[in-house]
Amino acid sequence: MSLDRPLTRNVRADRSPTDMAAYEANGGYQGLKAAVGKLSPADCLEILKDSNLRGRGGAGFPTGMKWSFVPMGDKCSPGDKYLICNADEMEPGTFKDRLLLECDPHQLIEGMIVAAYTLQANVAYIFIRAEYFKAAALLREAIAACHQKNYLGNNILGSDYSLEIHIHASAGRYICGEETALISSLEGKRANPRAKPPFPQVSGLWGRPTIVNNVETLCNVHHIIERGADWFKSLGLTEDAGTKMYGVSGRVKRPGCWELPMGTPVREILEEYAGGMADGYSLKGFLPGGGSTDFLVGEHLDLAMDYETIGKAGSRMGTGTMIILDDKTCPVGFVKNLIEFFARESCGFCTPCRDGLPWSAQVLDDIQHGRGRDEDMDTLARQVKFIGAIGNTHCALAPGAMEPLQSAMKYFPEAFEQHIQGSCRHCSGGGH
């Protein structure tokens, strides 16, 4: 078993899934056995807090701290607590969770059992993207196998702890990446984000304490409990601990996804693992963490891909899956495509998002197709300032949508100017 690449230790070259026998033969479910009946939930939580595991869904919030807000023991009123795995992978350019789900479904299940034990949750849900048919089928098989082994069900491994895991196919909306919108959808309601406070850790699914974490985050949990916080911290190259599933899409020679030490430099990911730019193309810029992050450019290639470093550079690491902008793709069309996506995925609850994103998309469409005016740049700048400010919208969808736009206007102003002047020569979607 690879101790320095724990998340992909079972990923085979042919991407065939790992079954129960193969998973256990490679050390699977040892984290579960080390936790349930051996460590108290408080012990497990302390290990998670010490490990400095940060959420891998995009925000990077410390996992142990998030879990510590869940009322425990006498502080919690009688009733269920819930753990939800967000497997609704809808961030543009992101495909890391799909790899983990399809190649090693038992890893997620073990992580969820240990996480639920730590939280003393007796019911857990996997909220999975509806199009992930293969992953859902494999997870159902893994859950059934766990019941046969008494890793799930009543009195797990002879303890007094019981857990059931259910799979819920989502309605397939990007807004469900916001945890309270996900909870609303799981309850059978429209997927609108909720006002906070109260936070889900106190009042979430059906008004009960609830934790929502994404696939990659939960896949780390049992490894940390089995091997300890110091081991996990030793895997990272910077202050951010562990490994990270990094991905690259766009015109590179080898698009893909790789587990690497947290803090691996951007240049190493792009040139050594993705093989560099495809023949005939050069790098113009890149979104470091999916479609809702700010562009970075060539001067940022030697930065460490971790939360703090990328944040200080003016972007976010997000999901850690880079989208490459090459020199033959027009930044205006690139950004317009993203803004149209975010406009379509808005829940429509608040005006800046419901009306502001389609307005921004229309202005970009006018610019791209030769109908742009000089004052359009002022309009977009006002949109960025108003819609992009956290607190002006009900959730972070619209501010996230503004990130690629505001950074494109910063780094590639000539592209907008050329469109407005009718001199763009390489835009495939242009009308001139």
Tens-place pLDDT, residues 110-128 = 999 999 999 999 999 999 9
Q: Is the pLDDT of residue 151 over 70?
A: yes
Confidence category of residue 2, pLDDT binned at 50, 70, 90? low
Spatial contact of 251 and 98, defined as CB atoms under 8 Å apart: no
Torsion sign (Cα): 312, 316, 322, 326: negative
Class of domain 243-326: alpha beta
CB-side neighbour CA atoms (13 Å) of 8: 19
Right CATH for 331-421 from 3.90.400.10, 3.40.710.10, 1.20.1440.230, 3.30.379.10: 1.20.1440.230
Spatial contact of 49 and 41, defined as CB atoms under 8 Å apart: no
- Closest C-alpha among 142, 199, 137, 153 to residue 24: 142
Assess if CATH 3.40.50.11540 describes domain 6-235. Answer: yes
CA 177 to chain centre: 8
Q: Is the pLDDT of residue 428 over 80?
A: no
pTM: 0.94
Query: How much is the pLDDT for 74?
Result: 77
Compute how many other C-beta atoms are within 10 angstroms of the C-beta atom of residue 406.
Answer: 21
Q: Is 425 helix (H, G, I), strand (E, B) or coil?
A: coil
Task: State how beta strands 256-261 and 283-287 pair.
Answer: unpaired
Question: Could you state, in order of their start, the residue ranges of all structural domains in the chain?
Answer: 6-235, 243-326, 331-421
Structure tokens at 31: 């984290």
Spatial contact of 63 and 192, defined as CB atoms under 8 Å apart: no
∠ CA 345-133-201, rounded to 5°: 60
pLDDT digits (tens, 9 = 90+) for 321-379: 999 999 999 999 999 999 999 999 998 899 999 999 999 999 999 999 989 999 999 99
Measured CA to CA, the distance from residue 41 to residue 67 in angstroms comes to 11
When computed from its CA atoms, the radius of gyration of the chain, rounded to whole angstroms, is 22
Query: How much is the pLDDT for 427?
Result: 60
- Closest C-alpha among 261, 220, 217, 232 to residue 51: 232
- Closest C-alpha among 185, 389, 355, 170 to residue 193: 185
